Amino acid sequence: MGTERLLLVPDIDETETAVPEDPIDRPGVDRRVFIGMVAGGAGGAALVGVTAAAAWPSSAASESSSASASTTTMVMDSSGTTDMAGSGMSDADMNASSEAKVGQFLDNAASPITAGQGATELEWRTVNGVRVFELTCEEIEWEVIPGERVAAMGYNGIVPGPTLRVVEGEPVRVVVRNELTQSTSVHWHGQRVPNDQDGVPYITQPPILPGESYTYEFTPGPFGSHMYHSHHNATEQVGKGLLGALLVEPAERGSEPPYDKDELYILNDTLGGFTINGKGFPATAAYTAGLGDRLRFRFMNEGQMVHPIHLHGLTFEVFARDGYPLPQPFRCDTITVAPGERWDAIVVADNPGVWAFHCHILSHAERPDGMFGMVTALIVE
Ligand SMILES: [Cu+2]
């Protein structure tokens, strides 16, 4: 990539840095380039070993058993001020902390800096032509940012739960085992299922009691980007992680635009604060693309607030909402994803560099000690 062109800050004397030297080569990603692109003006700041973990509002993340959104927001607001005096940090401290967190993010791109990865694709078995998945609901601990494990609820031990990939018109069965200490249910968000498979306790089924199992069966449709999640005590259960992606491939190829990579961007705003795919910056995964690649992003909001997701330097070509193809795709660079919505967009990676990719409600993304929460980057090499 054009590193000279992108190098916006003077060389930093890395012998003074408290961030560990790269254990692994990161082809094509130069930390100073990244800092120049994203953090800006960090040149010359001496690092003082401020870690992101130290700055995380752990009181909100781990104290409350319900980890309510309002509690999180209050803490975010109190620490999210841009008032330098109020933050108690000097300008140099803010720069050093910001730079250290970007370094952690780049470390994470090479080798995960937190335990656990959500939204991995779930294997299935085929029984008499039916695609059968198994989900177990469990109380777990989930590491949202380095060193902060929060009380969570996961399907198969991860947040978001495993991604279910199915095909429009081909029947599926999902066996759900409840190992929580409270009842639950699973709703197939966006699917036109038979009423008795819709997963709403006392409306379409009894709740799945602790220790019990429940089997759902339906034929997927419509195609597109959908979700599954708890529909019982959902503020707590979905907030703490009982959610996942349900990807329905169209029966007819050509029903969706072509793409080279299929990427999830699942938002939540309760467990551990503001997260993308179950992690907060700097533990969010970077997206990567080769020059000219077509990336499909599936934005999904499982949280309780709207999140306008902004991509620097590149363009969204939005082609579907809630799985339904738009009559006229449109271009934008900021897509507002409301709770429950899914938006599908193609990004043509035609502009090399490291591009910040974040929620543009700034208190969900940046504060005096640097970026946090709903921040990642798209790296075009
Ligand atoms: Cu947001």
300 and 225 belong to one structural domain: no
Model confidence pLDDT, tens digit, residues 88-138: 899 999 999 999 999 999 999 999 999 999 999 999 999 999 999 999 999
148 and 81 belong to one structural domain: no
Backbone angles phi, psi at 66, to 5 degrees: -95, -15
- Residue 13 belongs to a domain: no
Q: How far is the CA of 228 from the centre of ligand 1 (A)?
A: 21
**pLDDT exceeds 80 at position 13:** no
360 and 262 belong to one structural domain: yes
Q: Give how far Cα 36 sits from Cα of 3, 364, 380, Å.
A: 10, 22, 15
Q: Give how far Cα 213 sits from Cα of 76, 216, 306, Å.
A: 38, 10, 34
| Residue 96: HSE in the Cβ half-sphere, 13 Å Cα cutoff | 18
Boundary-marking domain end, from 255, 277, 306: 255
Model confidence pLDDT, tens digit, residues 278-335: 999 999 999 999 999 999 999 999 999 999 999 999 999 999 999 999 999 999 999 9
Boundary-marking domain end, from 197, 222, 255: 255
Q: How far is the CA of 60 from the centre of ligand 1 (A)?
A: 17
pTM score > 0.85 for this model? no
* Domain housing 335: 31-114+258-380
At residue 30, the 3 state secondary structure works out as coil
Q: With bands split at pLDDT 50, 70 and 90, how would you rate the model's confidence at 31?
A: very low
138 and 246 belong to one structural domain: yes
Q: How far is the CA of 204 from the centre of ligand 1 (A)?
A: 33
- Residue 7 belongs to a domain: no
Looking up residue 309, the CATH number of its domain turns out to be 2.60.40.420
- Residue 345 belongs to a domain: yes
Model confidence pLDDT, tens digit, residues 340-370: 999 999 999 999 999 999 999 999 999 999 9
226 and 290 belong to one structural domain: no
| Number of folded domains that form the chain | 2
- Residue 24 belongs to a domain: no
Q: How far is the CA of 343 from the centre of ligand 1 (A)?
A: 15
**pLDDT exceeds 60 at position 52:** no
Determine the average pLDDT of the residues in 271-277: 93
CA distance 61 to 142: 11
134 and 89 belong to one structural domain: no
Listed residue (248, 47, 279) closest to 167, CA to CA? 248
| Spacing of C-alpha 107 from chain mean position | 18
- Residue 339 belongs to a domain: yes
Q: How far is the CA of 364 from the centre of ligand 1 (A)?
A: 5
CA distance 101 to 19: 9
- Residue 9 belongs to a domain: no
Q: With bands split at pLDDT 50, 70 and 90, how would you rate the model's confidence at 86?
A: low
Boundary-marking domain end, from 236, 255, 274: 255
**pLDDT exceeds 50 at position 75:** no
What secondary structure, in 3-state letters, does 235-271 show? HHHHHCCCEEEEEEECCCCCCCCCCCEEEEEEEECCC
Residue 197 CB coordination number (10 Å): 18
- Token pair for 95: 């720069």
Q: How far is the CA of 308 from the centre of ligand 1 (A)?
A: 6
71 and 189 belong to one structural domain: no
244 and 305 belong to one structural domain: no
Model confidence pLDDT, tens digit, residues 143-177: 999 999 999 999 999 999 999 999 999 999 999 99
Q: How far is the CA of 338 from the centre of ligand 1 (A)?
A: 10
Q: Give how far Cα 157 sits from Cα of 116, 185, 314, Å.
A: 9, 17, 35
